[in-house]
Amino acid sequence: MPVVTCIEDLRKLAEARVPRMFYDYADAGSWSETTYRANEADLRRIRFRQRVAVDIEERSVSSTLLGQAVAMPVALAPVGMTGMQHADGEILAARAAAAFGVPFTLSTMSICSIEDVAEASPEPFWFQLYLMRDRAFVERLIERARAARCSALVLTLDLQVIGLRHKDLRNGLSAPPRLTARTLVNIATKPRWALRMLRTPRRNFGNIVGHVQGVTDMANLSAWTAQQFDPSLSWEDVRWVRQRWEGPLVLKGIMDADDARMAVNAGADAVVVSNHGGRQLDGAPSSIEALPSVVEAVGDRTEVWMDGGIRSGQDILRALAMGARGVMVGRAYVYGLGALGEAGVRQSLQLLRKELDLTMAFCGRKSIAEVDRSILYESSVNHDFGARRQGGAHGVPQP
C-alpha cells in the first residue's frame, strides 16, 4: 500500500492509474493554463500569522453550508465524467462524502445517473445543473433531482461556450470520448481501471442517455451534446430556474462583483467564486484574487464560497480568512478517487481536515467562526491582489 501524506501523493497515484485521456480531463486548464496555475499559486503566496501561548486544546472545524451542518466548510464540487476516473465514481464519491459529513455535488455530465446515486447514497446530495437549450429536458432534470431528494441545486453559469482545452483536443476527449488507437494502447497499461470499467454497466452519461428523445446510446449522444450548451443564457433564465426549484439555489461561476449582485437579485442562496478550475477563460483572475470583491459586494446578503486551486487544508483556511463561507473542492477528491476509489476520497477529506485543523491551531484559533483576515499577513495579500492597506502593527485590518 503506497504511503499517502498529502493530496499531491494522491495526484501522483491517480496519474499512474487513470488513463491519460481522463486524467488530463481532470488535471488541465485551457489555452496556456495561466489561470489554472494561478489558482494554486496565488493561494500559496498568502502567508499566515503564527500565534503562541494561546489555548487551542479543544478545536472544531465544523460549520454550516446552506444551513446544513458539515464536518468542515467543504463541499465536493461537480466534476463531469467522474465515473471515468474510477468505475462508478460518482456513487463512490457520494458515499465517501456522506460518511465524512460534507455535501457531494453530482454533475449533469456524470456517468452514474441521479437515480443511481440516490439509490446508493445514504444521505441527500446536491445536483449541478447546466441550462441546456432543450428546456423541457432541463425541467425533467430538475424534477428528477427533486424526486431523488437532492437538497440543493447548483446552477453553473460559465459554460455557455467551452474554453479551448488543448490537452482534451489532443486526447480526443469528447462526449462521448473518442477511443483512438493511442487511447486504447494507454488504457491497456491500466489493467485495474479497465477491469473495473468492464464490470460496471455504468459507462454512459446516465443523466442524458435514455432521457432525451433520439439519444439512446453513446453513438448519437455526441451530436446532441455539441449543440446543447446555450450561449443565449441570461439572468431571466436563472430566474426561470429559481421559479422551478423551491430548495436552496447555488450559482457557480461568479467572478465579478456586478455579476454577484445580479445573482443575489435572481434569488441565489449562495454564490461560488469560480473560474471553472481554469478550464474556461484563460487569463482571468485566480479565484482567490476575485473572492474579496465578491464578498464585499454581497457577503451580507448571501453565502459566498470559493472554488479553484484548493489542494490542502491550508488553502481552505486561506479562502475562509479572505471571506469565503466555505469552499468546493474538485481535483483534490478526484485524485483520491482515481488513486484509491472510495477509500481515496475518504483519505483526501481526512487529509484536508487534518491540515485545516492544524493550521487553524498554529494561527491561534479554536473554531471556524473565529477565522478572519487577521490570521493573515496583510502584506502578502496586498502585494498579490492590490488590496487596500488598512494599518495595524502587522498590516492587520482595523475596526
Structural domain includes residue 393: no
Q: What is the pTM of this model?
A: 0.94
Taking only the tens place, the pLDDT of each residue in 109-163 is 999 999 999 999 999 999 999 999 999 999 999 999 999 999 999 999 999 998 9
pLDDT value at 382 more than 80: no
Structural domain includes residue 242: yes
Confidence of residue 397 (pLDDT cuts 50, 70, 90): very low
Question: Which is more confidently placed, 114 or 223?
Answer: 114
Provide the CATH number for the domain around residue 96: 3.20.20.70
Structural domain includes residue 164: yes
Domain total for the chain? 1
Please state, in angstroms and rounded to a whole number, the distance separating the CA atoms of residues 264 and 159: 20
**Can you give the residue range of the structural domain that contains 114?**
7-385
Residue 253, all three cell numbers = 461561476
Structural domain includes residue 169: yes
Please state, in angstroms and rounded to a whole number, the distance separating the CA atoms of residues 385 and 399: 21
Please state, in angstroms and rounded to a whole number, the distance separating the CA atoms of residues 150 and 144: 9
- Could you tell me which residues come within 8 angstroms of residue 342 by beta carbon, excluding any fewer than 6 positions away? 92, 93, 95, 96
pLDDT value at 237 more than 50: yes
pLDDT value at 240 more than 70: yes
Please state, in angstroms and rounded to a whole number, the distance separating the CA atoms of residues 365 and 57: 10
Q: Identify whether 394 is a catalytic site residue.
A: no
Structural domain includes residue 390: no
Structural domain includes residue 399: no
Please state, in angstroms and rounded to a whole number, the distance separating the CA atoms of residues 157 and 152: 16
Least confident of 114-123, 213-222, 281-290, 321-330: 213-222
b/e for 58-90, b at 16 or more Cβ within 10 A? eeebebebbebebbbbbbbbbbbbbbbbbbbbb
Confidence of residue 36 (pLDDT cuts 50, 70, 90): very high
Backbone φ and ψ of 253, nearest 5°: 110, 20
Structural domain includes residue 397: no
Taking only the tens place, the pLDDT of each residue in 66-109 is 999 999 999 999 999 999 999 999 999 999 999 999 999 999 99
- Of 211, 276, 383, 394, the catalytic one is 276
- What's the mean per-residue pLDDT of the chain? 92
Structural domain includes residue 1: no
Quick one: pLDDT at residue 386?
57
